[in-house]
Structure 1
Amino acid sequence: MARFALIISAIAILASTSQAHVGITPPTGKPGQSLNASFHVPHGCNGSATTSITVSVPDTVVTILPAQVTNWNLTVAYRPLDKPMQVAGQTINQTVSNFTWAGGNLPNDQFQDFPMQITLPQVDLSNQSNVTLYFPTIQTW
């Protein structure tokens, strides 16, 4: 039996010369599935604390809700949709383009999960077993 899934991946960029290590858990889901997931930051970098995480949302994702995280400030930016869509019985004209958790302090020797609720896009997997969604992520310290 073939496994059909969307692979969810954070492409992490550190706001300096080192490489970030942000990941997403769980890393897979089924097309159209609504799931709770988290951006997992395993530590700060180069001995410094992480002070913000900015996530860009792929255009194919229409429904995503980042969660408030204690001691972090959440800001959300929106983009207009090309055409209105029906989601859960409501017409929406815009969706999330990116969001940032900032103002917190994640020491180099600790980890933090930044939760979200996402509905994965409907994609045709009849000719391919996987499709990867990339969430470019900037980890600042």
Structure 2
Amino acid sequence: MKKLVLTGTLLLASAAQAHITLEQREAEAGSTYKAVFKVGHGCDGSATRQITVTLPAGFKGAKPVPKAGWRLSLRMEKLAQPYESHGKPVTEGLAEVSWTANTDADWLQDAWYDEFVLRGTLPPEAGPLWFKVRQTCVQGESNWAEMPPEGTSTRGLKTPAALLLVTPRK
């Protein structure tokens, strides 16, 4: 019986520490990448009504996947380094995407799980890419935006950004 109680306590503790993470945590430099953000809980028991992802520099040509019951909002900005795509210059890119529940019936309840998806092209260089994710709930908010000062370890971070490790081309 003690073993069961301890296991249940550990499961609850790990659920409380869960983050918004990427389904695929590594991808090859220069490849097209489908970023699937896994949302496993709300904010201290409150339902999620909006997910906002800030895209890292170098993630090009990003396009979000619409979700039934959720409205998409896109924020574009001028690129520091324009590039060419299909023979045309690209000077502006998607900087932030938000999915907002249309009605309270569409909210992602704390006890439910869902995924929010976008795709884009990874930079040609290997290294970490950090996606900052703001989770706005009916009551409260979690800003999953912390990054370590160096390296890729999220140990000790309370609200870490979602990490994608871009690996060298094979």
Given the alignment of the two structures, is residue 132 of structure 1 paired with residue 138 of structure 2, yes or no? no
Given the alignment of the two structures, is residue 106 of structure 1 paired with residue 108 of structure 2, yes or no? yes
Higher helix share: 2
Shift of 1:87: 1.6
TM-score normalised by length of structure 2 = 0.64
Structure 1 pair 108–87 and aligned structure 2 pair: CA distance change class (3 A): same
Higher strand share: 1
Which residue of structure 2 lines up, in the alignment, with residue 122 of structure 1?
124
TM-score normalised by length of structure 1 = 0.76
1:89 partner letter: G
CA contact (8 A) 1:20 1:139 kept: no
Q: Which of these residues, 6, 25, 36, is aligned with residue 34 of structure 2?
A: 36
5+ residue gaps, structure 1? 1-17, 126-130
Which residue of structure 1 lines up, in the alignment, with residue 66 of structure 2?
68
- Of the two, which has the highest radius of gyration? 2
Which residue of structure 1 lines up, in the alignment, with residue 55 of structure 2?
57
**Alignment length (residue pairs):** 118
CA contact (8 A) 1:25 1:40 kept: yes
- The secondary structure found in structure 2 opposite 1:106 is coil
Alpha-carbon separation, structure 1, partners of 2:60 and 2:33: 14
CA contact (8 A) 1:64 1:116 kept: yes
Alpha-carbon separation, structure 1, partners of 2:107 and 2:68: 11
Alpha-carbon separation, structure 1, partners of 2:52 and 2:77: 16
Structure 1 pair 88–27 and aligned structure 2 pair: CA distance change class (3 A): farther
Detail structure 1 runs of 4+ shifted over 4 Å in the superposition.
none
Q: Which shows bigger deviation, 102-111 or 87-96?
A: 87-96
Shift of 1:19: 6.9
- The secondary structure found in structure 2 opposite 1:117 is strand
1:115 partner letter: V
